[in-house]
Amino acid sequence: MKRLHIHCPYCGAPAVRRYGRDLFGDAAADPGALYYACARHPVCDAYVSAHKKSGLPMGSLADPALRRKRIQAHAAFDRLWKEGPLTKKQAYRWLRGALGLPEEQAHIACFSHYQCDRLIAMCSQTSQPERAAA
């Protein structure tokens, strides 16, 4: 697996790839899951999930507040295609158009607070997103 040399955006320490059991011990929801975490974790509580196959991070390291915000944004977005009329593919197309993002940046794991807030607001305003996606 390829390793990325990235740094924690909060404190500047290197980010290291670690398993869930190494990061969270007995509290790990998935001991075998991969993460990129700040080398100073848990003093600096910043991490992001990594893809199991490639080992690459799914987005940028996030502190607890940003992790909560991304979960909220994902829940708002997922409702569009889980409960709404869109397919998942259409929903991501709508997301890219609504936020003006190229495909490689249109991942909620990469989003900032501001982008999460915008997405949450747009999802709640978008009663008929299928029009935007058409």
Q: Which residues bind Zn ion (CB under 5 A)?
A: 8, 10-11, 13, 38, 40, 44, 46
Would you say 23 or 86 has its CB closer to Zn ion?
A: 23
Would you say 44 or 120 has its CB closer to Zn ion?
A: 44
Would you say 8 or 95 has its CB closer to Zn ion?
A: 8
Q: List Cα–Cα distances, 133 to 35, 41, 81, 89, 111, in angstroms.
A: 33, 41, 12, 10, 21
Would you say 14 or 97 has its CB closer to Zn ion?
A: 14
| Shortest Å distance, C-beta 15 to Zn ion | 8
| Shortest Å distance, C-beta 81 to Zn ion | 34
| Shortest Å distance, C-beta 112 to Zn ion | 17
Would you say 61 or 76 has its CB closer to Zn ion?
A: 61
| Shortest Å distance, C-beta 59 to Zn ion | 15
Which residues in the chain belong to E strands, given as ranges? Answer: 15-19, 34-38, 47-50
| Shortest Å distance, C-beta 56 to Zn ion | 19
Q: Percentage helix, strand, coil, to 5, in the chain?
A: 45, 15, 40
104 Cβ contact partners less than 8 Å away, ≥ 6 residues apart: none
Q: List Cα–Cα distances, 57 to 4, 11, 53, 65, 100, in angstroms.
A: 8, 18, 11, 19, 22
